[in-house]
Chains A and B, each alone.
Chain A
Amino acid sequence: MSGSQSSLRGANRALVVETVKRYGGLTQVELTAATGLSPATVSSIVKELLAAGVVDTRSTTRSGRRAQLVTIAHRTGLAAGVDVGPRHLRVALADVTREIVAEQSLPLPAEHRADTTLDRAALLVVDLLERVGSTLDDLVGLGVGLPAPVEPGTGAVTVRGVLRGWDDVPVVHVLAKRLAKPVLVDNEANLGALAEARFGAARGYQDAVYVSVGAGTGAGIVLSGRLHRGFGGTAGEIGHVQVDPQGRICRCGSRGCLDTVVGYPALVEPLAVSHGALTLRDVVQRAADGDPGCRQVVADAGAVIGGVVAGMAMVVNPQCVVVGGELAATGDVLLQPMREAIARRVPLNQVASLDVVTAELGVRASVLGALAMVLEATDQAAVGGGPAATTDVADLSDVGTGGGG
C-alpha cells in the first residue's frame, strides 16, 4: 500500500513540476487549479521541491492580493535564445542546466525588417523574463540565429541580398545596445546542427550534417564534434548550390539555386491551380494528412535536396544526416526520396550506409542551438575566470576550455 502511495506522490510531484514549466510562473492558487490537486497537497509538494532546489518561490501580487509565485529554480542566471525565421520569431529562456523555463513564438510578415524584428525580439526577451519572475539582471547572454550566413563578430549578414532588409545591420551591436548583455549570432542551420549534435538525433556522432528544410534550405556541418562554420560563415549554404543551370535568378544573384527550385514560392506555386493559395504550413499539414498533391510537391523537393546532400556528404563524409526544419514534419514523405537520392551515390554507401534521420528537436532546433551557443560561451568564460562553475555542465561543453580565458 505504501508503495502505491509514494508512487502517487511522485506522480503528483512530476505533475506540479510539469505545470510550472508549462506556464513559466504560477501562484500556488493557480497551481492548485491547473493541476486539480488539493491546496494542501500543492503546498506540501511546493515545500518539498523548494527544499530540493527544483523550484523557487517569491512574493508577488495577483489582483491586489499577496501570493507566492512558483517558478522553476534556475542556477546562476538565464540565457536567451532567439531564432529569427523567414516567417516567425521564436524566443526561449534556459538556465545553465539547459532547462527551458519559458518559450514563445511570434508569427512574422514575409520580408520582415531588421529594425522592427530586432525591436520585438528584445521586448519579447524582457516579457519572457518577466513571465518567469526574473529581470534583465538575471540574463547572462543572448544567442541569435538568422536564416543567412553571418559574420560572427558583428552578426551582420555576409552575403548581400539573401535576407532582404538585413544587409549591413550589425545585429550584435543593435541587441547589445538594447539589452546591455553579450550577444552571439550565427546561422540558423548551424545552430540547428549544434543543438542536434548536443541533445538531438546527431548526439553521439562525431561527424554529422544537419539539413534544415523550410522556406529555404540550409545545412550545418559538425566535424569531430565541433561546428564547422567556414572562413566566411557560408559553410553548408546548400540553398545556393546550383541545381538548374537554366533556372531562375536567385536573390543571391546566381542562377538556378536549390532555393529557387524548392524554396517557399517554388513549393506553393505548383499547388495554386489545384489547391488554391496555400501557406507552407498548409502544405506540410496536408502532406502529413495524406493529400496526394502536397505529398508530391514535398517528395519531389526531397529528391532534389537529396541530390545536393549526396554531393555534400561525398565531401564531408558524415556518419549521419539529420533532417529538420518545417518540412521535416512530413516524415518519410520528405526523407524517403532523400534517402533514395543519397543511396544512388555508390561510394557513400560502401563502408557503411549513411543514416538519414528526422531531427529530434523539430522546429525548436535553432532556438535550442542558440541557447547552447550562449551557455557554452559563458561556460568557457567561467573556466577562464574560475573553474568551479562548470562542473555540472561539463558533459555538454566539449568545445574545449582554451578559447575563453
Chain B
Amino acid sequence: MSRFDAPVGADFTGEHVRDGGQVVGTVAVGRRTPVLSVRQVSKRFGPVEALVGVDLVVHPHEVVALVGDNGAGKSTLAKVVSGVVQPDGGLVELDGEPVTLASPSDAHRAGIATVFQDYALCENLDVTANLFLGRELREHTLMRDGEMERVARGILRDLTSRIPSVRTPIGHLSAGQRQTVAIARTLIGSPRLVVLDEPTAALSVAHTAEVLTHIERLRELGLGVILISHNLNDVRAVSDRIEVLRHGRNNGSFDTRHVSQEELLAAITGATQVAPVRPPLGAVG
C-alpha cells in the first residue's frame, strides 16, 4: 500500500489499518487517507457534458451526500465510482492508489458496493439468495446454504433491520424492506465504500426512518458512504458533508453541521456560483 502517495495536504499521522480487506480499526489522528478520491473527472455523452472536472473525496467513517438538480451529474458520478461508466478523463484513487474501474465487478472487487434506484433484486428468490446473488459461498461446487443464512442474519442484525426471516422471498417484502435488503447486500464481502442512489425516494416516512438508520449504521461500521438524494432533509439528517453538483460541475462543498437549507438551495439552483473551496487537487503535490 503506497501510503505516501497520498493527496495534497495529507498531513496525516494516522493510517487506516487493513487486514485482508477487512477494516480492523482506525487509528487516524488528524487528516486521514480518503477511501475514495475522484479528481478532475470528465464525461461527455455526445453534446451533453455530464461531468466537467469534478472532484469528490470520501473518507472512511464519513457520509458524503451528492445533491443537485436532475441532470446535474449525480448519477453519472455514482456510475463512474461504481465502474458502470468509464470517464473520459481524470483520476480515481482508492486509499490513495490510482485505479481503473473498467466494470462493476472491478469496482466490487475493489470494495465499492452500489445500490441503484431499481434495487436490482430478484423477486422470486429469498433474502439470503439475493444477498449472495452471483457471489455465493461454495465448498467445491456445493453452496454453503447454512453459512450464507448465518451471515445474512448477522448482517441484517448489524443493520438493526426489521426483516423477520432471511428465507422470505423478496416479492413478499415492502418497498422499505427491499431497500434494506439492497443495502444489506452491499455489506457482503467487506466493502469500504457504499454508494446509495436515491435510497429514500418513494418510501413512506417509517421506511425512510429505517433506511436513514441503516445509513447511520454503515457509517458506524467505519465505511465511507456516498448518498445521492433529492431530499435535503434526509441528506442533512445523516451526512457529514454535502457536495453540490450543477450542470456537471462542483458548485460547493459544505460541512453539514454548518450549512443552512437556504445556502444549499442557492447552490443547487445556481443562485450562488461557488468557486472551488479546496484548491484543485491535481495542482499541488
Contact = CB atoms under 8 A, between A and B. Distances in A.
Interface string B141-166: 00000000000000000000010110
Contacts of B257: 110, 277
Contact of A109 (B220, B233, B240, B255): B233
Interface in B196-248: 204-210, 212-213, 216, 220, 232-233, 235-238, 240
B20 interface: no
A131 interface: yes
Given A112-B233, A127-B204, A105 B165 contact: no
A104 B204 CA distance: 13
Contacts of B260: 111
Contact of A275 (B29, B212, B255): B29
B209 A277 contact: no
Contact of A123 (B61, B205, B235, B261): B205
B240 A106 contact: no
B167 A33 contact: yes
A23 B79 CA distance: 35
B30 interface: yes
Contacts of A105: 209, 213
B210 A107 contact: no
A330 B207 CA distance: 30
Given A30-B165, A33-B164, A109 B205 contact: no
Interface string A87-112: 10100000000000000111111111
A26 B206 contact: no
Contacts of B256: 109-110
Given A107-B212, A275-B29, A128 B165 contact: no
A367 interface: no
B237 A124 contact: no
A124 B233 contact: no
A59 interface: no
B32 interface: yes
Contact of A19 (B164, B204, B205): B164
Contact of B205 (A26, A110, A120): A120
Which of under 10, 10 to 19, 20 to 34, or 35 or more describes the interface residues of A? 35 or more
Interface in B51-104: 61
Contacts of A2: none
B168 interface: yes
B165 A104 contact: no
A276 B28 contact: yes
Contacts of A273: 30
Nearest to A108: B237
B165 A107 contact: no
Given A23-B162, A33-B168, A276 B212 contact: no
Given A33-B164, A112-B233, A276-B28, A104 B172 contact: no
29 contacts: A23-B162, A30-B165, A30-B168, A31-B164, A33-B167, A34-B165, A62-B172, A63-B171, A89-B209, A104-B206, A104-B209, A105-B213, A106-B208, A106-B213, A107-B209, A107-B212, A108-B233, A109-B233, A109-B235, A109-B237, A111-B260, A112-B233, A116-B233, A120-B205, A127-B204, A127-B207, A274-B29, A276-B30, A277-B255
